[in-house]
Amino acid sequence: MSSYLNYTVRRLLFTVPILWGVFTVTFVLFFIVPGDPARLLMGQHRDAATEQAMKVQWGLDQPKHVQYWNFLKKAAVLDFGQSFTNKRDVRQAILERLPATAVLGIPSLTIGMFLGIAAGLWSAMRANRAVDNTIRFITFCLVSVPFFLLAILLQWGLGQQLHVLPIAGYINGPWGWWHLALPMFVMTLGSFAGLTRLTRTAVLEVLTQDYIRTAKAKGLPELVVVVRHALKNAMIPLVTSLSVSVAATLTGAFFVETVFAWPGVGLLAVDAINNRDFPTIMGTVMFGAVLFVLADIVGDLLTAYMDPRITLK
Amino acid sequence: MRLYAGVIRFFIVVVLIHIAMFLVVGALARRSEGPELPPNTLRLATDAIQVRTLDPVAVGDTASSGICNQVYEGLVAYNQKTLAIEPCLAESWDISPDGKLYTFHLRRGVRFCDDPCFPDGRGREMTAADVRFSLTRVCDPVAMSTGFWLFDDRVVGATEFNQQRAEFLEKHPRFWEEAEAWLGPESDGVPGLRVLDEHTFAIALKRPFAPFLKVLAMSYFFVVAPEAVKAYGAATNPPGKDSFFRHPVGTGPFVLERWEPDVEIILKRNANYWHETLPHVDAVRLISRRDPHTAFMEFEEGNSDMAGVPDEDWERVMNEDKTLKEPYAGRYRLVTSATLTTFYYGFDMQNPPFKGNKALRQAFNYAIDREALIRSKIYRGLGRAAYGPIPPGLPGHDPANKRYAYNLEKAKQLLTEAGYPGGDKLGEIQLYVSGANDSQDRTSVVVMEELRKIGIKVSLKQQPWPLHLESIDRHEARFFRLGWIADYPDAENFLALFLTRNWKPGPNSSSYSNPEFDELYDRAMLEPDEGRRAELYRIAADIIIEDCPWLFTTTGEGLALQQPWVRNYPRNALGLGFYKNVIIDRALTAPMAARDQ
């Protein structure tokens, strides 16, 4: 157990230089990509004094290295300052939107994961038969169709034609949870399709191994062979990919958020980029980076737990 | 069997974890709806509530000014349909015979809305000092005003005051910590803004400026409560402190009840509003639907009282002649209006090949079939061909002047006169565009094709908006796409784009200069008679049409559908909403809902 703790502490320490690197790259990119945020706010009527006042308050009048240091000092304590465009505190804005992102992202991911693994297993067990072909065809369609198209189709069918679900909008009131249904369904289908295909491939590969043949030869029922022996081993590549998709789901739901008017972090990030709103860009990028890094650590720990061949150093 | 039991147990645990998470997140999450709103509520699902600020002087986008227009008011206001000037906080006004002094007689008994920033929480009466305070802020870079250009060099002492404050800023980099950054209602920094008595306010201009009242109705000049600016802090607030940006305290028909970014904005009737019968509705609820198609679906469901028609729904809903198809025609009301917007391709008048080559610029203008463009799928008949700088609906626009009607022969002939027969020696011209909007991009492709017909080779250079503006500023872009949305409904706002003194960083994007035009403009500003001024505008516009520093393209038109129960909500050429006048006629709601089911 202590090796896990040791490993976790060391990995957490190691995240510091990673996050610092992300910060630096974002900072440099922001200043390399031209486009002055003050100019953008002023539009075609310019007024030098006001532009200067904006820059002073945003700290953009300082030399670049001073700006870098000032932003870094604050970012270290998760203070990203105020948005250039609407003066809201960036940390507060992210925290406000976090529940919306989480309540949509986490269930979509876990439900998609369980269904995906189950379908993948089934598909692998019936490889190249009708069931397998059907599942492969459906998941192939799902991964090929863009998210937003699926979203619009469902919105039209279930919302506008059948009136069973609300078209869009955020949770409101005790019955407002239905608003979650369509966006969650779309997101779930996304993670489901990818994971089904991944599981199928991983399980099929394991099924050709000698120890599976041994297990079958012992006379174990097929389901036991597959779940206890094959899936356990097939989980290793799955867990690695899962840790990436956790972060991707939580940060990359932009299209779903736009179509279903879901006030998540994705919309915040895209608006910030369009407005050259540096504090918000930095805040959302760092938020995504922290998620990625944490998911990666959890993924590695799980892999080590499942695969005795891997030792944590 | 043990295996199955294990799997089932596992799933039960997963389900329980989900339920627990929903409960926790549900408790943490902001709820999108506050208290139940009364039936007499105007509901709008819109893709345009990315409101940035509700501090009138800092407003620079239509979403923000749209909300400011409901919670604040100015001395004068636009008519909701014609945009003519009407009394508002000022009941009446006098203009001195020399046109330089405007004296406003304020309405008595106007109170600010109730707010904790007032000593007893109750809104006090608005006075002339509040007007001075609010208008002084417009000239103050410390307040991060984006409206100073309207008073610059016009109001007596405004420019000097702005300079003085800019110097203050330079000396105090952390200005929000300085007591001096705060300008109280007693400050008389701008000599041209004068409190004559509690209910009389005057503005002194350096020289007559005929459209001045139309300028004063803009949102920059709305009257705010000094107590609120002090209590909530505007630009002067230290980082992290709640801001006046989000906490409007005005005299308007509505008060801001709730503002959840990307969720909704709720406005409630202002109990202190000075007009006895307005607003007609008790509340306004704007819900955010970022995708226009989703917004339109909400409208069809009856959840929204007004909607635009998005591209993807156009053919289902609209006929080619811009009327509604059945069954929509029987369900909804269609409201349209020309908008004071003009799109153009600017020529850099200070650099070759366009500098000093009028024939070349005219050749470009003859080569574009604008009428075909408007009829095309890009515009679907929405909008009009532009043959000059002033859009229709403004005095000075001359509908008869279609000088640059499509004429390829003439274009080729002028190209030869310009010294580029067949376009050969001209080489490839880069057209700078910004991917702001799909229909604009497609227009640029059409323009490119049209110009190729007379032998001019054009390539597109696509850039993000801020870079696009910078390329024009630096004279790197010699041929570039831009548009102009009227700030206020007067032709002067369009003609000012050609003034020599508005060269960059001003809005004269083409760097056009013509002393004869400048002189005509100045004469028009001195002309108090509307009719004679319109004639001067027309002559000035003729000079621009002759010189064509722009390739004139199209002017805008807006269109919206309304539910049958919505009354008195006309569209106007600035696209401004006057929610206080809207009537929700519940008698018309019932048959509508029944038919929907």
pLDDT score at B538: 92
pLDDT score at B436: 58
Give every residue of chain B whose pLDDT is below 70, as ranges.
1-7, 10-11, 14, 18, 21-35, 176-181, 185-186, 234-242, 435-437, 588-597
Does residue A149 surpass a pLDDT of 50?
yes
**Which residues have C-beta within 8 Å of that of residue A259, sequence separation ≥ 6?**
A148, A151, A152, A155, A168, A183, B290, B291, B294
Any chain B CB within 8 A of the CB of A228?
Answer: yes
- Max CA pair span of chain A: 84
Residues 267-296 of A with CB under 8 A from B: 267-268, 271, 276
Q: Which tokens belong to B533? A: 């001024």
Q: What is the DSSP string of B19-86?
A: HHHHHHHHHHSPPS--SPPPSSEEEEEES--------GGG--SHHHHHHHHHH---SEEE-TTT--EE
**Which residues have C-beta within 8 Å of that of residue A249, sequence separation ≥ 6?**
A105, A108, A109, A187, A191
pLDDT score at B10: 67
Element of type H or E holding B539: helix B530-547
**Which residues have C-beta within 8 Å of that of residue B452, sequence separation ≥ 6?**
B458
Any chain A CB within 8 A of the CB of B510?
Answer: no
Is the CB of A263 less than 8 angstroms away from the CB of B53?
Answer: no
pLDDT score at B596: 35
Any chain A CB within 8 A of the CB of B62?
Answer: no
The CA distance from B455 to B424, in Å, is 7
Shortest CA distance from A60: residue in chain B: B173
pLDDT score at A49: 75
Residues 480-499 of B with CB under 8 A from A: 482, 484, 487
Residue B479 Cα distances to A246, B346, B512, angstroms: 47, 6, 13
Q: How far is B236 from chain A (nearest CA, A)?
A: 9
Does residue A302 surpass a pLDDT of 70?
yes
Query: Phi and psi (nearest 5°) for A293?
Result: -65, -45
Any chain B CB within 8 A of the CB of A160?
Answer: yes
Shortest CA distance from B51: residue in chain A: A86
pLDDT score at B595: 34
| pLDDT tens per residue across span B19-59 | 776 666 666 555 444 557 788 889 998 877 788 888 898 88
| DSSP helix/strand/coil, B327 | coil
CA B116 to chain centre: 31
Residues 219-258 of B with CB under 8 A from A: 235, 239-240, 243, 245-246
pLDDT score at B6: 64
State which amino acid sits at residue B194. R
Task: Please state whether the peptide bond connecting residue A174 to the residue before it is cis, i.e. omega within 30 degrees of 0.
Answer: no
Query: Phi and psi (nearest 5°) for B485?
Result: -105, 125
Q: Assign residue B356 a region: left if phi > 0, alpha if psi is -120 to 50, beta otherwise? A: left
Chain A with chain B: Cβ pairs closer than 8 A: 185
- Residue tagged 């269109």 (tokens): B559
Is the CB of A40 less than 8 angstroms away from the CB of B288?
Answer: no
Any chain A CB within 8 A of the CB of B46?
Answer: no
pLDDT score at A154: 83
Is the CB of A106 less than 8 angstroms away from the CB of B21?
Answer: yes
Instruction: Residue A144: count other Cβ atoms within 10 Å of its Cβ.
Output: 8
Q: How far is B173 from chain A (nearest CA, A)?
A: 6
The CA distance from A258 to B549, in Å, is 40
The ipTM value here is: 0.77
Is the CB of A103 less than 8 angstroms away from the CB of B25?
Answer: yes
Query: Phi and psi (nearest 5°) for B412?
Result: -65, -40
Q: How far is B417 from chain A (nearest CA, A)?
A: 34
Residue B326 buriedness (CB in 10 A; 0-12 / 13-18 / 19+):
exposed
3-state helix, strand, coil in chain A (%, to 5): 80, 0, 20
Interface test with chain A among B4, B54, B55, B144, by most A beta carbons within 10 Å: B144
State which amino acid sits at residue A57. Q
pLDDT score at B2: 56
Element of type H or E holding B562: strand B550-562
Which among B145, B175, B262 has CB closest to A50? B145
Lowest mean pLDDT among A1-15, A49-63, B25-39, B408-422: B25-39
Task: Determine contact, residues B282/B266, Cβ cutoff 8 Å.
Answer: no
